């Protein structure tokens, strides 16, 4: 599998903080989430591996979707208002 390209450190830190905040708000921790991921999806991840991927900005999107799932979240893509208006102006 090809190696994922890392994002800038400050962006990775912001994303890591947001995901860990959701985990903490659920009354859980990374180790517990990894246990639940492995149980539900039959994977063999470790807490240090997920933490490393978060810190380096290399967590694959499919893992993020699974983390959201075990936390009871659904990730939704929504068009931003400002971009929608700009798109409409170009169409006129």
Name the helix (H) or strand (E) containing 83: helix 81-91
Q: So what's the pLDDT on residue 60?
A: 94
Q: How far apart are CA 28 and CA 73, in angstroms?
A: 14
Q: How far apart are CA 75 and CA 89, in angstroms?
A: 29
pLDDT digits (tens, 9 = 90+) for 42-79: 999 999 999 999 998 899 999 999 999 999 999 999 99
Q: So what's the pLDDT on residue 81?
A: 85
CA angle 84/86/91 to nearest 5° reads 95
Say if residue 25's pLDDT is above 80.
yes
Q: How far apart are CA 49 and CA 47, in angstroms?
A: 5
């Amino acid at each position: 599998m090809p190696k994922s390209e890392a994002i800038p450190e400050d962006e990775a830190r912001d994303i890591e903080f947001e995901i860990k905040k959701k985990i903490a708000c659920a009354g859980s921790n990374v180790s517990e989430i990894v246990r639940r991921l492995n149980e539900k999806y039959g994977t063999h991840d470790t807490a240090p591996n997920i933490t490393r991927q978060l810190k380096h900005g290399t967590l694959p999107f499919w893992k993020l979707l699974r983390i959201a799932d075990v936390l009871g979240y659904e990730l939704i893509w929504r068009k931003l208002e400002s971009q929608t208006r700009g798109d409409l102006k170009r169409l006129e």
